[in-house]
Amino acid sequence: MTTHCVICDTRPECLSSFGETHSILTLPLGTRYIFSEVARSLRNIGVTDISIVPGFEPDVTYEGRLVAAAPECSISIVEPTHRGEFLHNGESSDTIIFADPRYWPVYGFDFSQILSTFQEQFVPSFSMHVDPHADDRVERIVTDASGNIKRIQRTFDKMRWSNADGTVVPCCVMSRESAQANARFPLQSMRQQLASRAIPIRDIPESAPCLDLCETSDLHRLSCSTATDPTRKDRQILVESRDHKGLRIAEGATVDRTARFIGDVIINADAHVGRQATVIGPTVVGRGAMIGRGSIVANAVVYDRAIVEPGSAIYHEVLVNRQIPMGEIDPDDMQVLPDREDDGVFSVVQGDAHETTRVERRRTMTLFAKRTIDIIASACGLVILSPVLLLTALLVRLTSPGPLFFIHHREGKDGKEFGCIKFRTMARDAHTRQRAMAEENESDGPQFVIARDPRVTPIGDFLRKTNLDELPQLLNVLLGQMSLVGPRPSPFRENQICGPWRRARLSVRPGITGLWQICRHDRDQGDFHQWIHYDLAYVREMSVWLDLKILGYTITSAGGKKNVPMEKVLPPKTTRRKHGNIDSIAAAV
């Protein structure tokens, strides 16, 4: 049994140009192409056999561009007249992954989860994302008896995702036998076809929305995000300018020294930036593109071989204009100088950017050390604390009816959901009673907090005060779903209250304890603002030494029952950077 991938390709009308029409797979993405990113995700699960199904008549250069973008893969182009035949070549038990990169998950494709879900029951499985243009949020203002605003409550209708008309499907997995009779694009149509024939299917709701790359605004958002993502390892980016922090230049690019750069900017190979041009990030300048003398480019994407004419200005735009032959451009207007340092051009030194490499190496070492400590400590903790775990389990079982554990779906690293395990501390019907008690919520954020919650069992109150209810989370740590130290694990609903905060906190594993748990001090007034503050501070300053300090203060503060001043854990100079203040971020939420 083998695994094969079938990728649909389309041509977005919004990017049609006079010289060349791009398809989704050949669109630039940072220093790579869309297809390069999809192929990399497939290689991560061991899939290199790829068929491309274009929704148009490809030209003679189409296949060559795809092969160059992913040379490690075996690529075949399916002719429009043979789309119904290629799926019959192979065993009926083979696994087929269908992908439609027009609908791009904001965190990129990850085929491992949907493939493992399919392999559990061998039922056609569909990744379901909420329509990026649908408004699924409901907000209401909650006031007290005097009419003062207590909080703004935001809810998300997750049930919409089970409706095929209100969702997009970027990928699905099924057997070759199922695909032979039902393969069609878009993938929503394939899902509807299977459902109409009463064939069992499995929907996997994804918490992150999708971008529609046929929409200029979404394409702009995706392209600019690559310029600001510090985790991307684009080895074609060869130098970072010391004079302009955030500017990354590829080998072969020519940049006049009088050009000005602000923020995160990527200049791709063979691109040219002329004299006194101003480029404000996040901005991506494609291969062979030209930025004319005195022009202004701000928060934009300039595609391969596109021209920003001298003295012009583009802002918040995706530029794919007429490909102007070099002979039609006045060299004095463009001021593209030879790549020689004495002629006033940025010199491009071969090799990785040293500072970026050092930061990446330090972060990799930190994550490796954290994971090593997590494995050893959680394994030892489960063994040493086994008598306490057994006694606690016995007390929970004897004092109230219901399951022994409470398992709640939370978002882990990169937004992947997992079952967070705790000893049950509430009555069995606690969840159904929460809606009726909504007006008693004392939190100023999305979480539900009541000082004397009547749903808590007598033994549950003791377990919460002593934090014994969280001991089973050592198993989550051992499985790699959590860490000993990190942001508090939260469900999808709570994380959506602040998008930038969500992206930051989900870049690391959630923890049993963390900075917020030991430093929070406005518990009685609702402290969502502090939750954001401390989560962002931890992600920014994460280190093994910081983790050890937090673990130590967790013990001395009785699990956060006694407030620990922030200055004891993080010196003031590390909590405020010259490039941003996390207090202002929290205040803006």
Average pLDDT, stretch 221-228? Answer: 73
Average pLDDT, stretch 185-206? Answer: 81
Count of structural domains, the chain = 3
* CATH for 251: 2.160.10
Q: Domain for residue 77, yes or no?
A: yes
Q: Is the pLDDT of residue 37 over 70?
A: yes
Which SS3 state, helix, strand or coil, does residue 274 take?
Answer: coil
Q: Please count the other Cβ atoms lying within 10 Å of the Cβ belonging to residue 134.
A: 13
Of all residues in the chain, what percent carry a pLDDT higher than 90?
A: 15
pLDDT tens sequence across 21-30: 678 898 877 7
Q: Do 505 and 409 reside in the same domain of the chain?
A: yes
Q: Do 81 and 197 reside in the same domain of the chain?
A: yes
Least confident of 79-83, 99-103, 199-203, 485-489: 79-83
d(CA 4, CA 176): 9
- Bigger pLDDT: 511 vs 523: 511
Average pLDDT, stretch 398-413? Answer: 87
Q: Is the pLDDT of residue 303 over 70?
A: yes
Q: Is the pLDDT of residue 233 over 70?
A: no
Q: Which of 305-309, 353-357, 473-477 has the highest mean pLDDT?
A: 473-477
Q: Contact 254/272 with Cβ under 8 angstroms?
A: yes
pLDDT tens sequence across 250-298: 877 888 888 888 878 888 888 889 888 899 878 888 888 889 888 999 8
| Residue 347: HSE in the Cβ half-sphere, 13 Å Cα cutoff | 7
Q: Which residue intervals of 385-472 are DSSP H helices?
A: 386-399, 430-434, 458-466
Q: Is the pLDDT of residue 385 over 80?
A: yes
Among 282, 313, 343, which residue terminates a domain? 343
The four Cα atoms 559, 560, 564, 568 give a dihedral, to 10 degrees, of: 50
Query: CA separation (Å) from 494 to 85, 302, 497, 503, 534?
Result: 47, 37, 6, 13, 16
Among 343, 377, 407, which residue terminates a domain? 343
Q: Is the pLDDT of residue 332 over 70?
A: no
Average pLDDT, stretch 192-206? Answer: 80
Least confident of 314-318, 388-392, 423-427, 466-470: 314-318
Among 214, 235, 262, which residue terminates a domain? 214
Q: Is the pLDDT of residue 52 over 80?
A: yes
Determine the pLDDT at residue 388.
93
d(CA 379, CA 313): 59
pLDDT band with cut points at 50, 70 and 90 for residue 452: confident
Least confident of 4-18, 410-424, 432-446: 432-446
Q: Do 313 and 199 reside in the same domain of the chain?
A: no
- Bigger pLDDT: 364 vs 550: 550
pLDDT band with cut points at 50, 70 and 90 for residue 486: very high
* CATH for 47: 3.90.550.10
Q: Is the pLDDT of residue 382 over 90?
A: yes
Query: CA separation (Å) from 552 to 84, 514, 558?
Result: 63, 11, 10
Q: Is the pLDDT of residue 437 over 80?
A: no
Determine the pLDDT at residue 474.
94
Structural domain including 10 reads 3-214
DSSP string, 299-325: S-EE-TT-EE-TT-EEES-EE------
Q: Do 96 and 194 reside in the same domain of the chain?
A: yes
The conformational region for residue 363 under phi > 0 = left, psi -120 to 50 = alpha, else beta, is alpha
Determine the pLDDT at residue 499.
58
Which tokens belong to 436? 């009726």
Q: Domain for residue 230, yes or no?
A: yes
Q: Domain for residue 348, yes or no?
A: no
Q: Domain for residue 551, yes or no?
A: yes
Average pLDDT, stretch 144-150? Answer: 74
Q: Is the pLDDT of residue 548 over 50?
A: yes
Determine the pLDDT at residue 191.
83
Q: Do 338 and 437 reside in the same domain of the chain?
A: no
